[in-house]
């Protein structure tokens, strides 16, 4: 395993921890100001709308990653790809949903030397979860 792979796997573990523990300050530090997050239903969020989504719409209950692969794209960008299995609950209705997806992420190292998640694209493996009204 390369140092880059180790770093990004550690950051992905931290992203999941932040989601599960509702550590939104920590999550914000891991996300690029230019974040583009595409959900399994095809809708997308920027940084502000994504943070609203995880704070007010859906609570992550469990997130697991499998078979993650990291490919460097030069010195300051990398793609991470693999399976994600997640379970969440609507903050409005209490309805729970589980989804398995193939996820492709783009991580970028900023001028401050910190790696941040810049793009997240989830493709459902099977039926996508029900819509989450905002």
Instruction: Classify residue 129: in a domain, yes or no.
Output: no
Of 66, 62, 83, 64, which Cα lies nearest the Cα of 20? 62
First-to-final CA distance of the chain? 40
Which residues, 6 or more positions from 112, have their beta carbon under 8 angstroms from its beta carbon?
A: none
Instruction: Classify residue 78: in a domain, yes or no.
Output: yes
pTM equals 0.94
Instruction: Classify residue 131: in a domain, yes or no.
Output: no
Q: What is the pLDDT of residue 107?
A: 98
CATH code: domain of residue 54: 3.10.450.50
Instruction: Classify residue 102: in a domain, yes or no.
Output: yes
For residues 10-36, one letter each, b for 16 or more C-beta atoms within 10 angstroms of the residue's C-beta and e for the rest, the string is ebbeebbebbeeeeeeebeebbbeebb
Tens place of pLDDT for every residue, the chain, 134 residues? 799 999 999 999 999 999 999 999 999 999 999 999 999 999 999 999 999 999 999 999 999 999 999 999 999 999 999 999 999 999 999 999 999 999 999 999 999 999 999 999 999 998 888 888 78
Tell me how crowded residue 93 is: count the other CB atoms within 10 A of its CB: 10
Domain count within the chain: 1
- Domain of residue 69 covers 3-124
Instruction: Classify residue 17: in a domain, yes or no.
Output: yes
Q: Residue length, the chain?
A: 134
């Amino acid at each position: 395993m390369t140092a880059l792979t180790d770093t990004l796997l550690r950051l992905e573990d931290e992203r999941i921890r932040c989601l599960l523990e509702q550590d939104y300050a920590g999550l914000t530090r891991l996300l690029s100001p230019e974040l583009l997050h595409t959900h399994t239903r095809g809708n997308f969020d920027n940084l502000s709308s994504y943070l609203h989504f995880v704070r007010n719409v859906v609570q992550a209950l469990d997130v697991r990653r499998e078979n993650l692969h990291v490919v460097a794209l030069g010195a300051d960008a990398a793609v991470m790809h693999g399976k994600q299995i997640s379970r969440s609950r609507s903050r409005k209705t209490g309805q729970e949903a589980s989804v398995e997806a193939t996820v492709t992420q783009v991580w970028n190292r900023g001028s401050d030397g910190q790696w941040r998640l810049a793009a997240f694209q989830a493709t459902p493996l099977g039926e996508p979860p029900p819509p989450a009204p905002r």
